[in-house]
Amino acid sequence: MFFGTLGVSCFATAAPHVVVISMDTTRASALSCYELPTGIRRSIPQVTPNLDGLAANGTRFAHFYTHAPTTLNSHTTMFTGLDPHEHGVPSNGYPYTQPNSTFAERLKMEGYQTVAVVGASALEKAMGLDRGFDVYDDRLSQQHRKSYQDDASGVVQRVFQQLDGRQSDTPLFLFVHFYDPHGPLTPPLAYRQAFVAGGAFTPLATQPWSRGAYMRRVQSGNATVADHELGTALYLAEVAYMDAQIGQLLKGLEARGFLNEALVVATADHGQNLAEHGRNAFSHGFDVHSSVMHVPLIIRGFGLSVPQGRVVQRTFGMSGLAPTMEALLGLPVRLGQARSFASALGPGPVWDQDGWPSRPTVPVFMEATRPYMEESETWNNLQTARGVRIGGLKASVQPSSPAAALSEHQPPWWGLLTDMVQQWDLMAPNFREKQFAEDTQKALEALGYIEPSSSD
């Protein structure tokens, strides 16, 4: 049965279906089953009832972190088990080119049919994560500035278009990527009204909102509480809309028989700063705050013995997810270099509790990906904010703030953690030159990931 000896099939019958749901730009605190962000003083609807239900019937990881707050970088880690210094993808627009296998390639070797449906051009086929997929649907019809995306309902419709034409009885690996919380913050009207309308905020229910206009009001000192709350409410409305479509996805998969025996994993590539971080408000990529690095992870078994209602309090990182999924499927762990944390889903207590340095735990290293480096003699991200989390402790360093000066105001263990970050940095690859096409460059410029090219 499930959770047998790792490397030996853990299933009573054929291999189960595997569904990985990725929610772009979704901080852990955006889900109601985590702690909702502060800054909204009025009551709001339950944001994520479908994901909350998935967690209640499965296992939720309370302290799960990504290694970098950028879509392509983080998804590369998600499917290779390699952190950014190992897979060599510094940011969006840099294709994954390493020979290391991906999770899709791994399952394809095990006889799975592999299908992906993505919601944004950051994960288009040219970025290299289509490897191992029989079908990689990156058809995107909605243009936002120079980039293309699809809203959650469109993504779900495309999923069913792919599955309804399926002529196979082999197990399915399905990867579904939702992009809505990334922005622009334009949720459907019903969700906007549900999260914004009410009392003094009713006039804001149809008021346009943009980060640029918001930041100008902040910088001029004219921002009001309503300005802060409006952006946060619209962000949560986008998450709520996505959650509703995830509910439709799960309902449709169940109706089609894909959830009779299945492993479902729901997570996010990175989070989003809201109004709490000044000049980085309503953005990501510039820092390693919890708001952008702490992401949800929910694992649910349908017809499988995944613990129900368990909340894992240990700290884990994105690089451990691919080997964990291998282990849960009873496969020998071959992806990446990180340790599987499948034991956290096994029966009985998890003995290695957080408590570093008295107990051994696995560090989660982090690095920002912006501002973008045009050229350098070192890895693209070494001049950005960096950090590490281990055993419930954390340390972060800004390149503009010398560690020696900061250490005077930090606890004794802070120096140990910053030394760990420096050791991680020693393993970073060399600077990577731009490789993306002109259209990709324009899209990244429009999204603010890189500086516009000169007109010379």
> Is residue 136 scored above 50 in pLDDT?
yes
CA dist 89 → 76, 77, 133, 270 (Å):
8, 9, 20, 15
Is residue 82 assigned to a domain? Answer: yes
288 and 418 in a common domain: no
> Is residue 435 scored above 60 in pLDDT?
yes
CA angle centred on 304, ends 298 and 310, rounded to 5°: 40
Is residue 356 assigned to a domain? Answer: no
> Is residue 73 scored above 80 in pLDDT?
yes
382 and 317 in a common domain: no
Last residue of a domain, one of 281, 315, 345: 345
412 and 317 in a common domain: no
Residue-wise pLDDT for 164-193, tens only, equals 978 778 999 999 999 999 978 889 989 988
438 and 293 in a common domain: no
Please indicate whether residue 359 or residue 100 has the higher confidence score (pLDDT). 100
Last residue of a domain, one of 314, 345, 376: 345
Q: Which domain holds residue 337?
A: 17-345
329 and 407 in a common domain: no
192 and 163 in a common domain: yes
Is residue 182 assigned to a domain? Answer: yes
Lowest model confidence (mean pLDDT) among 53-62, 69-78, 191-200, 240-249: 191-200
Please indicate whether residue 441 or residue 223 has the higher confidence score (pLDDT). 223
Residue-wise pLDDT for 270-289, tens only, equals 999 988 877 787 888 889 99
Predicted pLDDT at 228: 79
Is residue 237 assigned to a domain? Answer: yes
How far apart, in whole angstroms, are the C-alpha atoms of residue 407 and residue 400? 14
Please indicate whether residue 129 or residue 449 has the higher confidence score (pLDDT). 129
Overall domain count for the chain: 2
Q: Which one, of 335, 387, 392, 395, lies nearest residue 361 by Cα?
A: 392
* E-strand stretches of 41-112: 59-65
389 and 246 in a common domain: no
Percentage of residues in the chain with pLDDT exceeding 70?
Answer: 81
Please indicate whether residue 276 or residue 401 has the higher confidence score (pLDDT). 276
333 and 390 in a common domain: no
Q: Which one, of 138, 135, 133, lies nearest residue 155 by Cα?
A: 138
pTM score: 0.89
259 and 391 in a common domain: no
Please indicate whether residue 114 or residue 203 has the higher confidence score (pLDDT). 114
369 and 326 in a common domain: no
126 and 98 in a common domain: yes
114 bridge partner residues:
173
CATH number of the domain at 167, please. Answer: 3.40.720.10
